[in-house]
Homo-oligomer: A and B are copies of this chain.
């Protein structure tokens, strides 16, 4: 196992600049280099990077991943902190789903109301200009 950054990129499906970025922010340890200063990775790096990628795919932010990685080096500690992070993340996902469901129904309503005529009569533009016409209170979504 002595992989170039491109090899690792293909294996783990993480782009080359992203791998360098993870090194830069200290998520992935700096690997050894060739004489010509090119990075060469081993199995440890690959598995750590897939851990990172998986956690990112699950929507955890870099700070959370740092915490997970640090925990995983202390097998005797309680896993409670990891638990906590997952729970908080789940809660925020659920809040987001709730918001997006409201938003979806609002957007559907706008489309149903649209008469497909000239802008003058367009409910979409009207609703945007007058929040009172919305059926829900909706806070910021994005």
Question: A-side binding surface: helix, strand, loop or mixed?
Answer: helix
For the complex, count residues of A whose C-beta is within 8 A of B. 60
**Interface residues in A53-112 (C-beta closer than 8 Å to B):** 54-59, 61, 68, 71-72, 74-80, 82-83, 86-87, 89-90, 93-94, 96-97, 100-101, 103-104, 106-108, 110-111
Do B97 and A101 touch (CB < 8 A)? yes
Do A119 and B72 touch (CB < 8 A)? yes
Do A54 and B90 touch (CB < 8 A)? no
Q: A119-B77, A120-B75 are in contact. Are A125 and B68 (CB under 8 A)?
A: yes
Complex interface: chain B residues within 8 A of A125 (CB):
68, 71-72, 79, 82
A75 closest partner in B (C-beta): B120
Do B124 and A58 touch (CB < 8 A)? no
Contact of A100 among B47, B96, B122 (CB under 8 A): B96
Do A93 and B86 touch (CB < 8 A)? no
